[in-house]
């Protein structure tokens, strides 16, 4: 039996890993996968030894608060893996946890693959030397990452982004609206609101987004807003914040009625014309759905100082923060961050975006997103499985 251990630390990693497990199951008929993961991985036959929620942390403060449980989980899993050596270990993102673990496993003869490279191209390039110590082989999502690892003589493979294969290249927006069962007309202007999936992000951004939505509504009284929520805790926090804002026609979407196997956020993106979104994976998903967007993000002053202290940088090494802009190497969509993330700035950017619906400018942006989609659309599960097979004893 082939034994592969995998650790994913948050929902996006769980979704990525589930696709990889599917490819591994096709490559290795008699396969055992176990470690730490979520529901998507478990649905592919994965055995999670610890709840994935133990690793889902945001920022240094959250990590410090949960340090005892993180350490206990780390020690327990390390002991299990060293006592019962898997053929291969795959760490999915979660670099603070996985790179430490991978270093010990690699030193004990267990090939350690890391999927989703840390953003060394933006913050703390020197982390690449720790990666070289810890990782047998890097699996990266984006083509521009390869050069950095090759330069440091770290085995690396560009595997494409699984989301590019999961999200259709063309979507029927009208049919999506009908499938959602809401009072959505084909001529409605619909703006997706994506303030993040973590409670800390929602606390920081939802008030800003809702204040902006209320002013957009004054300019477009018939506009509708769709906002996906990932769990009851997020829904409760959002509902509480909405009490302070007079927004009509805002729908909270808790499940994907178009395709129940996909996230609720995807249904929202498919039915919308454009979006106001927190910087993160959601911006790439929006680009793959060919949706214009305004990207925003705001750290608390305390978190910003910690990040600057930890990284030794006051800004990224590249001029962009949003994934679509990073991949396109230009400010294809607006980014309003930190002090620039004000209600008035977001309002002007969103109104400009809405006014361009159906224009030549929007068509040009969609064309760029189509090219991006094609460049990221590889058979990721098969490529990863082939790399894993080269290390299986």
User: For 47-58, what is each residue's pLDDT tens digit?
Assistant: 999 999 888 665
CA distance 27 to 318: 38
Q: Does residue 130 sit in the same domain as residue 206?
A: no
Q: Are residues 130 and 273 in the same domain?
A: no
Q: Determine the longest span between alpha carbons in the chain, in angstroms.
A: 64
Instruction: Tally DSSP H helices, then E strands, for the chain.
Output: 18, 13
In a domain, 136, yes or no: yes
In a domain, 266, yes or no: yes
Check whether residue 285 and residue 236 sit in a common domain.
yes
Half-sphere exposure of 168 (CA within 13 A, CB side): 11
Whole-angstrom distance, CA of residue 174 vs CA of residue 272: 10
Same domain? For 89 and 153 the reply is yes
Q: What is the pLDDT of residues 135-179, one digit of tens each?
A: 999 999 999 999 999 999 999 999 999 889 889 999 999 999 999
Q: Give me the pLDDT at residue 53, please.
A: 84
Q: What pTM, to 2 d.p., does this model score?
A: 0.82
**Domain assignment of residue 337, given as a range:** 173-376
Residue with tokens 């994907």: 256
Q: Quick check: 244 and 255 in contact, CB under 8 A?
A: no
166 in a structural domain: no
Same-domain check for residues 277 and 289: yes
User: CA distances (Å), 231 to each of 234, 244, 257, 306, in order?
Assistant: 6, 21, 16, 28
Query: Do 367 and 271 sit in the same domain of this protein?
Result: yes
How big is the chain, counted in residues? 393
- Side-chain-side CA neighbours of residue 313 (13 Å): 12
What is the domain-level CATH number for residue 210? Answer: 3.40.50.2000
Q: How far apart are CA 341 and CA 195, in angstroms?
A: 13
Q: Are residues 73 and 203 in the same domain?
A: no
User: Does residue 155 share a domain with residue 199?
Assistant: no
In a domain, 200, yes or no: yes
**Residue 291, in any domain of the structure:** yes
Q: Which of 191, 184, 182 lies closest to 214 in space, CA to CA?
A: 191
Both tokens assigned to 52: 């994935």
Rg (CA), the chain: 21
CA distances 134 to 90, 113, 114, 157, 386, Å, are 12, 9, 9, 16, 21
- What is the tally of structural domains in the chain? 2
pLDDT given for residue 75 in this prediction? 95
Same domain, residue pair 69 and 203: no
pLDDT tens across 110-136, in order? 999 999 988 887 667 899 999 999 999
Decide if 268 is inside a domain.
yes
165 located within any domain: no
In a domain, 356, yes or no: yes
Residues 292, 339: one domain? yes
- 3-state DSSP assignment of residue 78: helix
Average pLDDT of the residues in 373-379: 95
Half-sphere exposure at residue 214, Cβ-oriented, CA atoms within 13 angstroms: 14
Same domain, 323 and 310: yes
**Does 244 lie in the same domain as 207?**
yes
Q: What is the pLDDT of residues 255-294, one digit of tens each?
A: 998 888 888 999 999 999 999 999 988 999 999 999 999 9
């Amino acid at each position: 039996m082939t034994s592969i251990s995998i650790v994913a630390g948050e929902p996006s990693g769980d979704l990525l890993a589930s696709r990889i497990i599917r490819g591994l199951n096709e490559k290795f008929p008699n396969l055992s996968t176990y470690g730490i993961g979520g529901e998507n991985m478990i649905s592919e036959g994965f055995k999670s030894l610890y709840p994935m929620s133990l690793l889902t942390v945001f920022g240094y403060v959250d990590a410090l608060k949960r340090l005892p449980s993180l350490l206990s989980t780390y020690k327990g899993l390390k002991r299990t893996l060293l006592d019962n050596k898997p053929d291969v270990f795959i760490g999915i993102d979660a670099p603070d946890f996985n790179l430490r673990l991978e270093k010990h496993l690699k030193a004990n003869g267990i090939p350690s693959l890391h999927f989703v490279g840390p953003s060394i191209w933006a913050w703390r390039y020197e982390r690449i030397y720790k990666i070289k110590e810890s990782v047998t082989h890097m699996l990266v999502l984006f083509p521009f990452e390869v050069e950095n690892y090759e330069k440091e003589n770290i085995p690396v493979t560009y595997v494409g982004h699984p989301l590019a294969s999961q999200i259709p290249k063309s979507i029927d927006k009208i049919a999506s609206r009908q499938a959602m069962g809401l009072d959505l007309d084909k001529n409605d202007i619909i703006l997706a609101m994506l303030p993040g999936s973590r409670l800390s992000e929602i606390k920081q951004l939802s008030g800003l987004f809702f204040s902006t939505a209320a002013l957009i509504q004054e300019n477009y009284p018939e506009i509708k807003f769709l906002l996906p929520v990932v769990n009851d805790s997020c829904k409760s926090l959002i509902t509480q914040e909405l009490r302070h804002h007079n927004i009509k026609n805002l729908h909270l979407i808790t499940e994907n009625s178009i395709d129940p196997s996909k996230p609720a956020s995807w249904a929202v993106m498919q039915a919308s014309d454009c979006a106001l979104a927190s910087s993160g994976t959601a911006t790439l998903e929006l680009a793959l759905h060919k949706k214009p967007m305004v990207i925003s993000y705001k750290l608390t002053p305390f978190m910003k100082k910690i990040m600057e202290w930890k990284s030794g940088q006051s800004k990224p090494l590249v001029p962009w923060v949003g994934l679509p802009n990073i991949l396109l190497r230009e400010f294809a969509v607006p980014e309003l961050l930190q002090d620039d993330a004000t209600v008035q700035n977001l309002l002007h950017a969103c109104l400009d975006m809405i006014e361009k619906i159906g224009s030549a400018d929007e068509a040009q942006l969609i064309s760029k997103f189509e090219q991006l989609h094609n460049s990221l659309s590889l058979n990721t599960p098969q490529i990863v499985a082939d790399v894993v097979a080269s290390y299986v004893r």
